[in-house]
Amino acid sequence: MKLVALLLTCSLQAAALRIQVLSLFPLTVLEIEAPSLRLGGEVLPSPSKVGLRGRLVCAGPICGEALTTYGGTVRLSVKGAIARSYPGDAQVMARSGSLVAVVNLDLEDAVAGAVAGEMPGTPLKSAIDAQAIAARSYYSAHRRRHEAADFCDSTHCQFLTAGTAVSRESALRTRGLVLRYRGEPVPALYFRSCGGRTLRAEDVGFASSPYPFAAVDCAACLRNPAVWTAQFPEEQWTGQHTEAARLELARRFGWDSLRSNDYIERRVAGKVIVSGKGHGHGVGLCQRGAAGMAAQGADFRSILRHYFPAASIVE
Ligand SMILES: [Zn+2]
Ligand SMILES: [Zn+2]
């Protein structure tokens, strides 16, 4: 009986992820609402507002290394900027001059939140289910991508917002299913649209992955690619067709300035004129292509088999 309880505890713990939330906001003051709040051995009223004092988190005169919430639900807000609720408990700590908020989320709640963030709207069921399995695979394949947490809630890991009815239903329909390669979960990648063919990890300079991401044709994008043009000053152009170089330009010129890694460039009078197709890094599942396959009646298994041909879809 004890062993069963122990195994159950272990499996529950394995399914909980620590996710750093509101990670794109500089957090100096945070309001926290939860059934129970504790800081420095004291019980705080809810909601409470906390700030920083050196390496301590403080609510008025009460300070401690971390504020912890209990009760399974928490709402975090930054006045005038953002408020978000999560189905889990949180810890708020001080790290390098900023508050860091980490929530413990059940894997399936995190999948619902990532699907809501990464594939908003109400796509066809098989496309959203393919996305849910890709998101779950990503969470299952990695651990500890951040100092204080396993994952963050930005596109650095997976963009995570509050789950919606649609995303929660999809997580439930596909519960537990992940892409696996040689028995291990695939760190599944995905992006908005391609230029008619997806790219291999090495095509965009990604570190080698245990999963061999294949370049595959993508019918919807081939038929009707999302084309774009952009221009950059020649001295800022590295000429490297890598995702790192693309993000570096994006940081300097705006997030959509160089939309994808599928483009040709020409130099004209001190400028680099770029003509491209698609949106995002181009490796793994093409969300637009998945939507196109779903519209043609494909189920989530066919979609995933197409974009991850070397993986199997299992619990
Ligand atoms: Zn991250
Ligand atoms: Zn595509």
How far, in Å, is the centroid of ligand 1 from the Cα of 272? 31
* Strand bridging mode 312-314 / 178-181: antiparallel
One-letter identity of residue 14: A
For 111, the 3-state DSSP assignment is: helix
Contact 277, 225 (CB under 8 A): yes
pLDDT at 305: 98
How far, in Å, is the centroid of ligand 1 from the Cα of 118? 14
Say which residues have a Cβ less than 8 Å from residue 232's Cβ, sequence separation at least 6: 249, 253, 257, 258, 271, 272, 274
Starting from the CA of residue 138, give the closest ligand.
1
Contact 68, 50 (CB under 8 A): no
pLDDT at 67: 98
How far, in Å, is the centroid of ligand 2 from the Cα of 150? 30
How far, in Å, is the centroid of ligand 1 from the Cα of 158? 7
Q: Which pTM value belongs to this model?
A: 0.91
Starting from the CA of residue 159, give the closest ligand.
1
For 124, the 3-state DSSP assignment is: coil
pLDDT at 115: 97
For 125, the 3-state DSSP assignment is: helix
Query: Rounded CA gap, 109 and 106, in Å?
Result: 5
Number of helices followed by number of strands (H, E) in the chain: 8, 21
Residue at token pair 């696996």: 180
In the chain, the N- to C-terminal Cα span, in Å, equals 25
Q: What would the two tokens of residue 3 be?
A: 């062993």
What residue segments make up the domains of the chain, in order of their start? 16-105, 108-192+283-314, 227-277
Starting from the CA of residue 191, give the closest ligand.
2
Starting from the CA of residue 152, give the closest ligand.
1
Starting from the CA of residue 150, give the closest ligand.
1
Starting from the CA of residue 277, give the closest ligand.
2
Say which residues have a Cβ less than 8 Å from residue 1's Cβ, sequence separation at least 6: none
How far, in Å, is the centroid of ligand 1 from the Cα of 266? 34
Residue at token pair 């900023």: 98
pLDDT at 38: 98
Residues composing the chain: 315
Burial class (CB in 10 A: 0-12, 13-18, 19+), 289: buried
How far, in Å, is the centroid of ligand 1 from the Cα of 171? 21
All residue ranges of the chain with pLDDT < 50 are: 1-13
How far, in Å, is the centroid of ligand 1 from the Cα of 166? 24
Query: Rounded CA gap, 202 and 212, in Å?
Result: 9
pLDDT at 143: 83
How far, in Å, is the centroid of ligand 1 from the Cα of 91? 17
How far, in Å, is the centroid of ligand 1 from the Cα of 152? 4
pLDDT at 126: 97
Burial class (CB in 10 A: 0-12, 13-18, 19+), 64: buried
